[in-house]
Amino acid sequence: MAALRVFGFSLLVTALALVAGYAHGGLNALFLLVALAVLEVSLSFDNAIINAAILRRLSRFWRQMFLTIGILIAVFGMRLAFPLLLVWATAGVDPVRAFDLALNPPPHGALEFPDGSPSYEKLLVSAHPQIAAFGGIFLLMLFLDFLVQDRDIKWLKWIEIPFARIGRLGQVSVAVAVVALVLVGTTLTHSGQERATVLTAGLLGLVTYLVVNGLSRAFRPPDLEAAAGGTVVAAGKAGLTLFIYLEVLDAAFSFDGVTGAFAITSDPIVIALGLGVVGSMFVRSITIYLVEQEALDRYVYLEHGAHWAIGALAVIMLLSIDPHLEIPEALTASVGVVFIGAALTWSVLRNRRIAKTA
């Protein structure tokens, strides 16, 4: 019953999205919509776990904002408006013209029109290095900050314990991220202009993470982290900053999904329905379910597995800057499942050992 209550609205929205997709493009659009929804959920399960770790610290008001305003931002902001704005910023094509290009692609799936002008898909794909650098560095910082933090419960102790000791030096994650960005920018780019673009985008990702993470720490109640079971919740300014932090995280996680969607279709309506409406709704429902079932307290390694999956995703995004390194979508989608599945298994075994001891 709890699962039906949490996922009921998502199922209703999915049914409406399927009807809208069929009305938009028939059976072909319906099939593509389902494929995109599956892609989004498989790529974002680690996102749901990280969201749950933050959401359980928010007040009821900000949780509701995450499910209402947050979903609007996810659907219309990141899955529809963001690609159009990106084409505008990188190619100088205004959003209205970009939307028209997206709705009217070249015949036979070509990347250029007969007159030689680029298609919407080609314009967006050409912006992939900037997207990958920004999102990859942002997610790498999230992983590194988790890795160097000294925690009472550790999963992969042979790695986490040494990094926790190194983390006492301070700003280790920033130093590692900058070194990674320099290596990527100098070895995976093929022109001076592309190198400058990648380095700039990566630095913007780093600065964005530091600003948002700094604000969330500045307004966080002092007893929030110490509260057992998350009994102290963030409201007011603290809730607002954590809500913004959640939305920026969702944006960073959506980069790979948005760009990967073009391997399936370039139709912005189908992408918005598949990734945004169906996929994002289910990711949010999974997040709420994890919070209400207190899954992160019962399966203590889940958060660890999610962060390791994020670290792997960040590396994949940074490597994808080089167009000659073709990384299969199946690998990107499965890496999170592998880490989270392993973390869940370890958590279950840990619980059984504790039960036997008791």
In the predicted structure, residue 180 carries a pLDDT above the cut 90: yes
Would you place residue 230 in the very low, low, confident or very high pLDDT band (cuts 50, 70, 90)? very low
Q: Where are the alpha helices (DSSP H) in 127-156?
A: 128-147
pLDDT recorded at residue 256: 63
339 alpha-carbon distance from chain centroid: 16
Q: What is the pLDDT of residues 39-50, one digit of tens each?
A: 777 667 777 887
Q: What is the pLDDT of residues 279-324, one digit of tens each?
A: 777 877 888 888 777 787 888 888 888 888 888 888 888 988 887 7
| Rounded percentage of the chain residues whose pLDDT exceeds 90 | 5
Cβ neighbours for 299, distance < 8 A, ≥ 6 positions apart: 343, 344, 347, 348, 351
> What's the whole-number average pLDDT of the chain?
79
SS3 58: strand
Spatial separation of the C-alpha atoms in residues 268 and 274, rounded to whole Å: 10
E strand or H helix that includes residue 81: none
**Average pLDDT over every residue of 98-103:** 76
CA distances in angstroms from 49 to 65, 179, 190, 277, listed in the order given? 18, 28, 37, 19
Tokens 């995703």 belong to residue: 313
Closest to 19 measured CA to CA, from 29, 6, 8, 7: 29
SS3 118: strand
Would you place residue 229 in the very low, low, confident or very high pLDDT band (cuts 50, 70, 90)? very low
pLDDT recorded at residue 128: 80
In the predicted structure, residue 260 carries a pLDDT above the cut 70: no
pTM: 0.77
pLDDT recorded at residue 113: 77
- Of residues 265 and 195, the one with the higher pLDDT is 195
| Rounded percentage of the chain residues whose pLDDT exceeds 70 | 84
Q: What is the pLDDT of residues 108-157, one digit of tens each?
A: 667 777 777 787 777 777 878 888 888 889 889 988 988 888 777 888 88
Domain positions in the chain are: 2-105+119-357
221 Rama class: left (phi>0) / alpha (psi -120 to 50) / beta: beta
In the predicted structure, residue 201 carries a pLDDT above the cut 70: yes
DSSP letters, 184-218, are HHHHS--SHHHHHHHHHHHHHHHHHHHHHHHHHHH
Spatial separation of the C-alpha atoms in residues 185 and 91, rounded to whole Å: 21
**Average pLDDT over every residue of 244-256:** 73
Q: Which residues of 66-89 are buried (b: 16+ CB within 10 A; e: fewer)?
A: bbeebbebbbebbbbbbbbebbbe
Integer-rounded Cα Rg, in Å, for the chain is 21
- Kindly state the tokens that stand for 61: 């008001």
Report for 97-106, 248-257, 335-344: range of highest mean pLDDT? 335-344
Spatial separation of the C-alpha atoms in residues 210 and 248, rounded to whole Å: 12
Q: What is the pLDDT of residues 12-42, one digit of tens each?
A: 888 888 888 888 888 888 888 888 887 777 6
